Structure 1
């Protein structure tokens, strides 16, 4: 295993993100005339986009379409140009590793941010915001290696991958708890899937068959979704290989099931891409014989204790029982108990999240110091410092929406200021 143990999952994530950018820009280009042309549903010609006076003015409203007048194009033609450039860059990045570098991902992020800002209702879905946040972290992860003959794998990569893991944790945990926070009886009765396949926006051919599965199976799937989205997410930060793999495969399995039964654009594909942040290089080497060690055996035992504990507790909380060739399930906890769990989990997740971030920074510093040559040590240390400050800003900003799950939490005013400054 190399000095930096996240090089393979990092490259896999950047590859997947390139394809997702390609899907996003290409699908948008096809819809531009119907959505944003002069005769479209929401014409962009009605928007007022002034050419920025200076860099400060540009940063206040970062949008490449503000240069439309400077390029002597109308807003719609500039939107088409931005989308086409996004298609070309993401295509090159998808099929050529030489284009999977910082400047390209910065350009892709700016291009997509620009179309989102003028896209109005049709580009303010959850997956659009998720792509922007993932894309920003990808800029921190991607190197300038091909451009300046600099190394592609550096110590700060572990910080970037940790930020992706934190993003995935917030996404999945929030997705699970908001279903119960909504106080909707279909979720509390585990009956949401009885109507989901018929009421979703874009079902797939398999949705009809899924809808006609037995009712007890629908209930079991809802309970399983809660288990994967809530308690299993706490395994994301465990340092053991078995827990990493269990977390990875459980999340991917859930996303694949959603993809097979419903069309949610690139949302589930992007979530799968984020799951690479759970892995290390060693997890891709399944053929290598693993030597027996006390620490390895201990981590294996602890991992299985944690995994089995989650399933045993979940079986108790959802009152699983087998009868008449079916598995019955129901919510076995009260709303008051759930509120206590939610408030406690959010509070300590913030504490541990901040602590783990600084541990990751210290780990990156140590990794940088293990570089062989002096210039490489210096280069990686500077990179760790820069990425740490940017990553800290991203972390502080992310705590604001996450803390809203627990109304009793009062974050420092600095968090709110950073959050406002980083909003697109």
Structure 2
């Protein structure tokens, strides 16, 4: 969260003014409301240190910009005069896109991380960049046409299963999709006429989970996601996302877990994502495709010894990767998403036992492993955060609502 500025702060140099301080404080209030999905005016007063009249004026401005709404006070368990609740206005939305090897998923997400609409467009082969752009553009056009006129779309955020350069959103490598140095953001912007921001899917998953999910208020965490395109990771260290020089950090799917492993598309062998694979689990339970919930039920109810053997084999390799990550990064929390969450749910004790014994004792003593709380909404919520980021930084840029 940005630091709070007040009128009493000393001048910060040329250009400083009451207006710039007001804009900064407006950003702070919107971020608090967005991240908490609503706070009372009294809570905003306590958390910011601003007086009640200033909070009232800032909230009124956010309401006039169509970014917040005021509702009935939450009087439960409260003593004294109830304070009006300030919530993010869900009519301000971002479009979220997630291209994968088996589908392109498009969603509408409101401020506060609420998924309003979701459409999944299955494909029978990994889509080329051009095909993914065409599917996404057509899907966005359909959503825009069907969306209630009260919604205001702020832009498009894209979660890509691959290496995405931070500076310009160039997809350097999405190996399972077969993309190399593809300007996906530029192409989709041209096709839709909307602003488009692209980032790695696992990085966005860790962001969404740390804002709205299991990792709220956790400053050091590892998020590991298993999907159709393999395994990706996101890292938050000291409360900040760890991206590396160009945004490629967190590729835990390419951690070496066995020297006797098979070749990986990355050029190495024995990577985590070559040994821990969704398709192996699907094949064992006789499913051609399934979401995480269906796969989890199938794995949990199977009486086939081959299924339990494969689950433990994959958990063993996941344990090796997490042991290395715990020793290196000293996280407080590990969040598992996608099919990794299903894998863990089938035999949590096995992975817990591995992580209780294999990492360095000092590093492992404070680690907790949890499943993602956002489930299938995770990547859509994370992609929408790309859209909301600039809006929260400068709420006044929204301008007054203009209904379609």
Task: Name the TM-score, length of structure 2 as normaliser.
Answer: 0.25
Task: Please identify which structure carries the higher helix content.
Answer: 1
- Which of the pair has the greater relative contact order for Cα pairs under 8 Å at 6+ separation? 1
Task: Please identify which structure carries the higher strand content.
Answer: 2
